[in-house]
Amino acid sequence: MLKALIARFKQGFRTGKFPPAAPSLPPDFRGRPQIDDDISPEEFERAQSACPVKNALYCDFEGAKLDMGRCIFCGRCAEVCDKIRFTKEYRLGVFRRTDLIVRAGDLDYEPPKQTDAAAKALRRSLTLREVSAGGCAACELDANVLGTLAWDMGRFGIRFVASPRHADAIYLTGPVSPNMQLALDKTWAAAPEPKFLIAAGACAISGGLYEHGNVPATPALFIPGCPPHPATTLEALLRFSGRC
Ligand code: SF4
């Protein structure tokens, strides 16, 4: 027992200081993209032809756009076009699908604040039931990381639970493959009202590189990325429940 206590004392406090301190992000971290508003049609086409995801980059009557709900943050567009870059902005979670669209010239950004009273009621305790609906396990692993002592999201009262009956929200990852459709629908139906759907990762939001199955409700929180960085997910969950 004494040895265990000494070892524990020597290990010290291992949980990161984020939040409130800024997260420690890898040097090659790709956060919120920016597109310069003077991007030419030729430059845009070059970026678009380098992109492996259909409609992640597109152009309409307003100009060039990048859909963070489809983007896998591979960075190929920025490699071939210097009018597109990825910032270190990790606060990417939004409450409306349309807020994932980055327009050319959108250089200023503040993440949206939660206004939904039902979501804010979860500020002291948020329970999540994960459904991996055909994902590659990257989003699932980075969600799992949030439970480790390095991130320890339990200190904010946020935790994954085994049963949808105990969940405030269903945390969906993966593109919803045909084999997972029924399981997702049943899990959603089993969660008590009021309930929220959280779509984490490009696959859950849009299908990403794959066909998108049917989601049982409109997500109340979209967390883009491939996979979303744990700092992005934790910040999004805290903001979703009105804590920042
Ligand atoms: S970073 Fe996104 S938009 Fe750019 S090439 Fe990759 S998937 Fe396409």
CA distance linking residue 231 with residue 92, whole number of Å: 10
Res 18: pLDDT = 87
User: What residues does each domain of the chain span?
Assistant: 33-103, 117-240
Q: What is the DSSP letter of 94?
A: B
* Dihedral sign of CA atoms 94, 96, 102, 103 in order: negative
Same fold? 33-103, 117-240: no
What is the second-level CATH architecture of the domain 117-240? 3-Layer(aba) Sandwich (3.40)
What is the second-level CATH architecture of the domain 33-103? 2-Layer Sandwich (3.30)
**Amino acid present at 42:** E
> Of 35, 57, 67, which is best to mutate to test ligand 1, by the most ligand atoms within 8 angstroms of its C-beta?
57
Cα 175 from chain centre: 14
Res 15: pLDDT = 87
pTM given for the model = 0.94
Res 186: pLDDT = 98
For residue 9, give the H/E element and its range: helix 2-11
From the CB of 71, is ligand 1 less than 6 Å away? yes
Res 23: pLDDT = 93
Res 244: pLDDT = 83
CA distance linking residue 213 with residue 185, whole number of Å: 11
Instruction: Give the model confidence (pLDDT) of 22-62 as tens digits.
Output: 999 999 999 999 999 999 999 999 999 999 999 999 999 99
From the CB of 51, is ligand 1 less than 6 Å away? yes
Positions in the chain whose pLDDT score sits under 50:
none
CA distance linking residue 168 with residue 125, whole number of Å: 9
